[in-house]
């Protein structure tokens, strides 16, 4: 039976540390501010933005919200970002994705000052991650590394298999595991004999976005299983990419959904914002 990796526990400890650092900066006359932009009426995005606002309040970070209508033009959005790039009260800028279809997401990401890019999506920050010399890390992979560290799970020398190759999770996740001296393999929808690959993993990270995709017969005895998925099952309940109930009988450690990786993502956004403020 696997030990549960509790994201809420790790997140609470990390947020306490962040809160103390925000207070230390405040004592030096440095405020910490995060600007969040949301365009349109995507209900999931609104939930995320509200959660980010609450998290900022919890640790003492000032939150600036810019809720723009669906019909906002790309030029108007880029003009707002330019203004925030030059605003000394704003340390971090986050533009909630997805954006309406008439706006070029990459153009928006590229317009954010890399020093304020707390999502770590700007090509300059992606390049820093590739060479292992970074200020900011993408929030979900960074949160996973914090969880492994908290539970004393050593990556060094381990075979790490990441299922998924997105720019947000899969690719940076592989780079962070590699930096900690893991032997890393990235699998994806075109990988042949996927089960053969996952059965070699000491640490298996599932980030495919398909409910219950990873089954018990795909997991090596004693593996550490990290579930990044956030899906709805046939009953409408939240579930991950991993068949949790069966896989937990085989793994040594496993993250649940909800309550696993999820709480860490916003916490690492706060971490990036404090890092940005401390660069002032």
pLDDT tens digit sequence for 210-230: 999 999 999 999 999 999 999
Q: How far is CA 259 from CA 137, 139, 174, in A?
A: 21, 16, 23
Q: Does the active-site annotation cover 96?
A: yes
Q: Are 250 and 219 in contact (CB under 8 A)?
A: yes
pLDDT at residue 169 in the model: 97
Provide the pLDDT confidence category of residue 199 given band limits of 50, 70 and 90: very high
**Average pLDDT over the chain, rounded to whole?**
97
Residue 120 pLDDT greater than 90, yes or no: yes
Please compute the mean of the pLDDT values over residues 230-248 and round it to a whole number: 95
The secondary structure of the chain, three-state, reads CCEECCHHHHHHHHHHHHHHHHHHHHHCCCCCEEEEEEECCCHHHHHHHHHHHHHHHHHCCEEEEEEECCCCCHHHHHHHHHHHHCCCCCCEEEECCCCCCCCCHHHHHHHCCHHHECCCCCHHHHHHHHHCCCCCCCHHHHHHHHHHHHCCCCCCCCEEEEECCCCCCHHHHHHHHHHCCCEEEEECCCCCCHHHHHCCCCEEEECCCCCCCECHHHCCCCCEEEECCCEECCCCCEECCECHHHHCCCCCEECCCCCCCHHHHHHHHHHHHHHHHHCC
- Answer whether 33's CB lies under 8 Å from 90's CB: yes
Q: Which of 14, 52, 116, 158 is catalytic?
A: 52
Query: Could you confirm whether 119 is annotated as catalytic?
Result: yes
Whether the pLDDT of residue 69 is over 90: the answer is yes
- Across the range 19-25, mean pLDDT stands at 98
**pLDDT at 177 exceeding the cut of 90:** yes
Q: Is residue 125 over pLDDT 90?
A: yes
Which of 271, 191, 264, 228 lies closest to 10 in space, CA to CA? 264
52 annotated active-site: yes
**CATH numeric code, 29-113:** 3.40.50.10860
The model's pTM = 0.95
Is residue 155's pLDDT more than 90?
Answer: yes
The mean pLDDT of 90-97, rounded to a whole number, is 97
The answer to whether 100 and 70 are in contact (CB under 8 A) is yes
Average pLDDT on 252-263 reads 96
Q: Tell me which of 14, 96, 171, 248 is the catalytic residue.
A: 96
Mean pLDDT over residues 166-190, rounded? 96
Q: How many Å apart are CA 194 and CA 199, to the nearest integer? A: 9
The confidence band for 280, taking pLDDT boundaries of 50, 70 and 90, is: confident
Q: What pLDDT is attached to residue 43?
A: 87
Sign of the four-CA dihedral 221, 222, 224, 228: positive
Task: Specify the CATH architecture of the domain 139-262.
Answer: 3-Layer(aba) Sandwich (3.40)
Average pLDDT (166-192) is: 96
What angle in degrees, to the nearest 10, is found between the helix axes of 262-278 and 139-150? 100
Decide if 29-113 and 139-262 have a common fold.
Answer: yes
**Which is nearest to 165 in space by CA: 174, 178, 155, 176?**
174
Q: What is the pLDDT of residue 62?
A: 98
Following CA atoms 10, 149, 170, 120 in sequence, which dihedral angle do they give, to the nearest 10 degrees? 70
Q: Which residue, 1, 3, 49, is CA-closest to 260?
A: 3
**Measuring CA to CA, how many Å separate 125 from each of 136, 200, 201, 236?**
7, 31, 29, 37
pLDDT band at 38 (very low <50, low <70, confident <90, very high): very high
Q: Give me the catalytic one of 117, 119, 227, 241.
A: 119
Percent of the chain with pLDDT over 90: 96
Under the banding of pLDDT at 50, 70 and 90, the label for residue 44 is confident
As a whole number of angstroms, the distance between CA 101 and CA 12 comes to: 36
Domain residue extents for the chain: 29-113, 139-262
Locate 208 and state its tokens.
């495919």
Tell me what pLDDT residue 57 has. 97
| Whether the predicted pLDDT of 68 surpasses 90 | yes
């Amino acid at each position: 039976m696997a030990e549960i990796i509790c994201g809420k526990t790790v997140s609470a400890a990390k947020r306490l540390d962040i809160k103390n650092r925000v207070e230390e900066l405040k004592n030096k006359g440095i405020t910490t501010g995060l600007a969040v932009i949301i365009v349109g009426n995507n209900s999931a995005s609104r939930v995320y933005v509200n959660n980010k606002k609450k998290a900022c309040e919890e640790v003492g970070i000032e939150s600036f919200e810019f809720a723009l209508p669906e019909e906002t033009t790309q030029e108007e959005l880029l003009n707002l970002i330019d203004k925030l790039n030059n605003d000394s009260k704003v340390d971090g800028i986050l533009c909630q994705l997805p954006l309406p279809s008439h706006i070029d997401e990459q153009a928006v990401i590229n317009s954010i000052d890399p020093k304020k890019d707390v999502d770590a999506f700007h090509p300059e920050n992606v390049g820093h991650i590739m060479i292992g010399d970074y200020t900011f890390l993408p929030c979900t992979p960074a949160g996973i590394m914090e969880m492994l560290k908290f539970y004393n799970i050593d990556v060094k020398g381990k075979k790490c298999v990441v299922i998924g190759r997105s720019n947000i999770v899969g690719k940076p996740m592989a780079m962070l595991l590699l930096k900690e001296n893991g032997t890393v393999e990235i699998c994806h929808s075109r990988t042949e004999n996927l089960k053969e690959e996952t059965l070699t993993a000491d640490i298996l990270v599932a980030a495919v976005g398909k409910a219950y995709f990873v089954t018990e017969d795909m997991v090596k005895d004693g593996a550490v299983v990290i579930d990044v998925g956030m899906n709805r099952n046939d009953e409408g309940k939240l579930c991950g990419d991993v068949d949790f109930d069966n896989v937990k009988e085989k793994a040594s450690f496993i993250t649940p959904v909800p309550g696993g990786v999820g709480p860490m993502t916003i916490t690492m956004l706060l971490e990036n914002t404090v890092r940005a403020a401390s660069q002032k």
